[in-house]
């Protein structure tokens, strides 16, 4: 009896010590999510290489086919095509990786484990989103280098301008990714909708936001407009009007938090209906 009391007191004392903090590590969560993504990429090299080659071949078809058909016309719009494909690659990678992850976790039977994480499901999804954005920049810049090398058209790449504008642009896409991740929790198989939305991104990127100011309120449109000015015309971040940057920050923040709120409501509804273990 005395031994049991001393053991209990020792355990309580250990729990009360500052060094005994057992709160979940955010850094460990980032490490696990990133390592999992890299392992999947390495373990399935053919799939990874095919995804990249598909984009490279698509650009080659547009560039060389356009030269054969349109001649100088394609050259005049070449910078816009390169920037547009760069932004589209960033957007599709960031969106699809987040939205598809819920479907894959359900297929693998590991979706419920995300809810059992001590970090909480919401933080796990935010971490996945951050890792997806990091990898999307990697793929985007590699493809950008290939496109510029194939076409001989070299654009202005100021990291202090391109990275902040790219992050803000992807924030709105991440909000859409959160929304569709929530829909995947409820309706499971919505892959066809994912594919349609990827093509909708092309319309948003190509939208003439500079001519029609109302289009700046759409996701991707305003960020794409600013990135094109930065990469084609060499405009630096501090040279943009504060109102332009402020609008980008506002719209990106609204889409991001609105999408996360939809994911939060969707996961609560899915748990109430017992949909976590169903696929």
* Model pLDDT for residues 52-78, shown as the tens digit of each residue: 888 888 888 887 777 666 666 666 678
Residue 155's pLDDT is what?
87
Q: Which two tokens stand for residue 18?
A: 């500052």
> pTM value?
0.82
Q: Is the pLDDT of residue 141 over 80?
A: yes
Are the C-beta atoms of 216 and 207 separated by less than 8 Å?
no
Q: Is the pLDDT of residue 227 over 90?
A: yes
Give the pLDDT confidence of 24-61 residue by residue, as tens digits. Answer: 677 888 888 888 888 888 888 888 788 788 888 888 88
Give the pLDDT confidence of 256-274 residue by residue, as tens digits. Answer: 999 999 998 988 888 887 7
* CA 8 remoteness from chain centre: 48
Q: Which of 205, 240, 198, 201 is nearest to 222 (CA)?
A: 205
Q: Which of 34, 48, 256 is nearest to 131 (CA)?
A: 34
Of the listed ranges 102-106, 225-229, 243-247, the least confidently predicted one is 102-106
Residue 72's pLDDT is what?
63
pLDDT class of 245 with cuts at 50, 70, 90: very high
Residue 246's pLDDT is what?
95
pLDDT class of 6 with cuts at 50, 70, 90: very low
């Amino acid at each position: 009896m005395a031994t049991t009391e001393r053991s209990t007191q020792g355990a309580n004392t250990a729990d009360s010590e500052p060094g005994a903090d057992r709160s979940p590590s955010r850094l460990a969560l980032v490490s696990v999510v990133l390592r999992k993504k890299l392992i999947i990429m390495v373990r399935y090299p053919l799939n990874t290489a095919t995804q990249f080659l598909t984009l490279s071949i698509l650009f080659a078809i547009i560039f060389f086919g356009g030269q054969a058909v349109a001649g100088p016309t394609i050259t005049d719009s070449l910078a816009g095509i390169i920037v547009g494909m760069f932004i589209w690659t960033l957007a599709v990678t960031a969106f699809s990786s987040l939205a598809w992850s819920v479907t894959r976790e359900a297929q693998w039977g590991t979706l419920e484990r995300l809810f059992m994480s001590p970090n909480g499901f919401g933080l796990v999804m935010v971490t996945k989103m951050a890792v997806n954005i990091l990898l999307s920049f990697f793929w985007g810049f590699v493809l950008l280098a290939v496109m510029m090398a194939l076409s001989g058209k070299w654009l202005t790449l100021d990291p202090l301008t391109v990275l902040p504008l790219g992050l803000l642009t992807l924030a709105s896409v991440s909000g859409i990714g959160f929304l569709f991740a929530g829909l995947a929790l409820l309706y499971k198989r919505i892959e066809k909708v994912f594919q349609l939305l990827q093509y909708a991104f092309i319309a948003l990127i190509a939208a003439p936001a500079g001519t029609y100011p109302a289009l700046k309120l759409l996701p991707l449109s305003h960020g794409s407009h600013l990135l094109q000015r930065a990469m084609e015309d060499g405009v630096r971040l501090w040279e943009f009007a504060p109102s332009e940057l402020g609008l980008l920050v506002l719209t990106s923040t609204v889409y991001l938090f609105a999408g996360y709120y939809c994911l939060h409501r969707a996961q609560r509804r899915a748990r109430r209906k017992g949909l976590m273990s169903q696929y």
